[in-house]
Structures are given as structure tokens and as C-alpha cells.
Amino acid sequence: MTPESRKTVRVVAALIPQPGDGSRFLVQQRLPRGSRALLWEFPGGKVEPGESEPAALARECQEELDVQLQVGRRLWAGRHEYVDLTVELVLYVARLVSGEPKPLGSSALAFLTPAEMQALPFCEADIPLLADLVEGRLGPLE
């Protein structure tokens, strides 16, 4: 597959701090079936046509975690080319407004520090984001 023929998807992700502990953030493990099975990632999903990034993030987290989010500022953006598709990934800071996160669309959920996340196998598109988080290059997380 040539880069020109590869499908491009815009994906939004949330950096959600654990309530009461701003040093831990929510991550999820992908389902065992499908692409990038059992790898870890930040919660979120695809932006649908005509949908804003913050609206897509709120919708995805409602569907996949059963939570309401307050979506804050954009923190990071990157692009990764997998063999089968190109991902344009955008990270927003977000806060849980209501609900306890449930793994409705994932195998597992965890609130982890960035250092703890480094020990897990993450999706390739998330690795530069994780490096910037660990190094404190995302700026204020509020």
C-alpha cells in the first residue's frame, strides 16, 4: 500500500487526570480483536464528518467509558503512518464531570503516571505523545 492510497483518519484523545490525583491519567487497553489488539492508548476515537474535535471526544468517551467529560484545551497533535492507515492524532486535556469510567470499548482501564505508562506497550501513534508527557513538554495540564 502506497502512502497516497492509505486511508487517513483524524483521532481525538483525552488526557483525563484521576480525580484527586493530578499525577495519574486514564489509559485504556484495546480489545483483543482487530487492529493494534491489546495495545494501550489514551481514550478517544475517530472524528466523524461534520463533527468538531471536542464534540467527537465527548461522544467517544460517553460511548466507550460511560462518562461525561468537560473537554479543555488542545495539548498536542501528531501524525503516524501505519501500514494500513495514517492517523492524525490530537490530544485534549479533559476532566470527568460525571460517571465512573467503565471499559465498554476496551479490555482494561487504568489511572497511571506517565512513568508507569512507559512500561506498557502503547500504540505507535501514541508513543511521541507519551514521550512529550513524560518530559513535561505539553505545558500546563489544566
Question: What does the H/E/C string look like for 80-139?
Answer: EECCCEEEEEEEEEEEEEECCCCCCCCCEEEEECHHHHCCCCECHHHHHHHHHHHCCCCC
The DSSP element (H or E) to which 10 belongs, if any, is strand 7-15
Check pLDDT > 70 for residue 123: yes
Question: pTM, whole model, 2 decimals?
Answer: 0.94
In the numeric block, which cell numbers belong to residue 120?
A: 506498557
Q: What are the structural domains, with CATH classification, of the chain? A: 7-134 (3.90.79.10)
Q: Confidence class of residue 48 from pLDDT cuts 50, 70 and 90? A: very high
Pick the residue with more confidence: 84 or 63? 63
Give the DSSP letter string of 47-66. Answer: PPTT--HHHHHHHHHHHHH-
Confidence category of residue 139, pLDDT binned at 50, 70, 90: confident
